[in-house]
């Protein structure tokens, strides 16, 4: 060691540790001098060749059929509604329809915060041998320790997300955080523990985007690419509600050196409604996620579009398979409303296993096709490269 090396290395270590101080939605981020390159993160360790669950790393072959986009705990109450101080009635059969279809304001609908309800709902996935990816991240009040407890109680492997949701849900510090600040936070969540816990994330996302895509959200996506390059983790993207926004995201990821084949574009079934755009996106090599299974009505709360039902979703996936994209499709429910849980009268997390997969087998999909969607592609994406 040359004179001064110890002091320099100690200074780098101190700066690194300070830069990754972050906790839940308080989003404390510190920045130190000119942004360094990704060599800054070489002290991070990842479970290479394994899948990181909330209870620890597992071998890929230990992961069964997987729902790639769910929320078990979280709070997605729109900020404008959250700011209102009002009481709400109990959710009952008499008011379920108007609450589920947003005919009345009802903030509790957007909160998943009941441990016993979560345990019971997730146990249904365990009963069919399934696993889950839980994507409540910064802005959505994630609960890593609660996730670990549910996983321990039910035996269901749960992979937790990381990074930032859309700008509307972020604290003011998000607007001034640099790409390196945001990347350091994601890397810490993947390698050390997330949101003031020792529970490690196993995937990057869902990284929130809107249309128009804000500058701050673009920085967050750039940070996700840096974290992907450092960790080998996959990125999962919440695209803006415009048919061209998914391609805009993929172009940024390619431009900045990310890997489209390890990038999942979520919510295809509320975003792209024409074959030309769908096939063009598939041709980039990214993974297409149909994640609103169980929503059988055309009504969509968050945009003026007509949703497909499960039968149409299955048909779109069949078209992608026939075009050679079998290894680029994953599915899920994206449950983030109470009204979609079995406890409150919804379809629950086991809907795909009980209703959709048997329908696919009846509609000409082979068991190998189903396994590609539910097992092989999730294993590939969730294994750290």
pLDDT for position 32: 30
pLDDT bucket at 42, cuts 50 / 70 / 90: low
Total Cβ atoms within 10 A of residue 298: 11
| Per-residue pLDDT at 24 | 39
pLDDT exceeds 50 at position 64: yes
The per-residue pLDDT for 41 is: 53
How many Å apart are CA 61 and CA 193, to the nearest integer?
24
Q: Where are the beta strands (DSSP E) in the chain?
A: 51-53, 56-58, 66-70, 74-75, 111-112, 131-134, 158-160, 204-208, 235-238, 263-265, 287-290, 329-331
Q: What are phi and psi of 54, to 5 degrees?
A: -70, -15
* 309-360 per-position pLDDT tens digit: 999 999 999 999 999 999 999 999 999 999 999 999 999 999 999 999 999 9
Question: Which tops the pLDDT comparison, 259 or 12?
Answer: 259
Band (pLDDT 50/70/90 cuts) for residue 123 is: very high
Residue 10 has pLDDT above 60, yes or no: no
The pLDDT, as a whole number, for residue 240 is 96
Percent over 70 (pLDDT), the chain:
89
Question: Are 69 and 135 within 8 A, CB to CB?
Answer: yes
Do residues 71 and 136 touch, judged by C-beta distance below 8 A?
yes
Burial class (CB in 10 A: 0-12, 13-18, 19+), 210: middle
pLDDT surpasses 70 at 15: no
Q: Lowest mean pLDDT of 14-18, 159-163, 308-312, name the range.
A: 14-18
CB 147 within 8 A of CB 134: yes
- Residue 282 in contact with residue 256, Cβ under 8 Å? no
Copy the structure tokens of residue 150: 């549910």
Tell whether the model's pLDDT for residue 229 goes beyond 80: yes
Enter the tokens of residue 90.
């109990």
Q: Is the pLDDT of residue 250 over 80?
A: yes
Residue 206: cis peptide before it, omega within 30 degrees of 0 = yes
- % of the chain at pLDDT higher than 90: 85
18 pLDDT band (50/70/90 cuts)? very low
State the number of CA atoms in the 13 A half-sphere of 316 facing the CB.
28
CB-CB contact of 110 with 78 (8 Å):
yes
Q: How many CB atoms lie within 10 A of CB 343?
A: 14
Asked if pLDDT for residue 99 goes beyond 60, the answer is yes
Is residue 312 classed exposed, middle or buried when 0-12, 13-18 and 19+ CB atoms within 10 A define those classes? middle
Task: Give the residue-averaged pLDDT of 202-207.
Answer: 98
Average pLDDT in the chain? 90
Section 264-268 average pLDDT: 98
76 backbone φψ class: left, alpha, beta (φ>0; ψ -120 to 50): alpha
Among 325, 319, 225, 307, which Cα is nearest to 270's? 307
Confidence label for 8 from pLDDT (cuts 50, 70 and 90):
very low
Q: Of 7-16, 124-133, 275-284, which gets the smallest average pLDDT?
A: 7-16
């Amino acid at each position: 060691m040359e004179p001064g090396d110890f002091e320099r290395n100690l200074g780098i270590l101190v700066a690194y540790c300070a830069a990754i101080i972050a906790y839940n939605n308080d989003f404390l981020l510190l920045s130190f001098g000119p942004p360094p390159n990704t060599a800054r993160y070489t002290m991070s360790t990842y479970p290479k060749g394994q899948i990181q669950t909330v209870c620890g790393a597992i071998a890929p072959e230990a992961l069964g059929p997987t729902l790639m986009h769910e929320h078990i705990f979280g709070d997605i109450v729109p900020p404008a509604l959250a700011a209102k101080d009002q009481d709400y009635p109990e959710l009952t059969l008499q008011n379920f329809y108007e609450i589920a279809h947003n005919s009345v304001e009802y903030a509790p609908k957007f909160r998943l915060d009941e441990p016993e309800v979560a345990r019971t709902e997730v146990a249904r996935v365990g009963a069919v041998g399934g696993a889950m990816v839980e994507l409540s991240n910064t802005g959505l009040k994630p609960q890593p320790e609660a996730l670990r407890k549910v996983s321990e109680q039910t035996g269901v492997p749960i992979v937790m997300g990381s990074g930032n949701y859309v700008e509307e849900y972020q604290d003011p510090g998000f607007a001034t955080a640099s790409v390196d600040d945001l990347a350091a936070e994601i890397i810490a969540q993947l390698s050390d523990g997330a949101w003031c816990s020792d529970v490690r994330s196993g995937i990057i996302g869902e990284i929130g985007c809107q249309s128009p895509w804000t500058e701050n959200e673009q920085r967050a996506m750039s940070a996700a690419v840096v974290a992907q390059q450092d960790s080998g983790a996959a990125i999962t993207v919440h695209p803006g509600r415009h048919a061209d926004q998914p391609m805009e995201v993929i172009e940024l990821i390619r431009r900045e050196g990310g890997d489209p084949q390890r990038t999942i574009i979520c919510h295809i079934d509320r975003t792209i409604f024409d074959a030309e755009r769908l096939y063009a996106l598939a041709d980039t090599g990214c993974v297409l996620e149909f994640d609103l299974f169980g929503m059988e009505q055309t009504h969509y709360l968050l945009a003026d579009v007509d949703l497909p039902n499960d039968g149409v979703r299955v048909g779109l996936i069949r078209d992608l398979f026939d075009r050679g994209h079998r290894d680029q499709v994953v599915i899920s429910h994206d449950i983030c409303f109470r009204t979609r849980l079995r406890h409150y009268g919804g379809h629950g997390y086991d809907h795909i296993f009980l209703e959709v997969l048997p329908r696919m087998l009846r509609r000409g999909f082979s068991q190998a096709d189903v396994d590609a969607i539910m097992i092989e592609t999730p294993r590939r994406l969730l294994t750290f490269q």
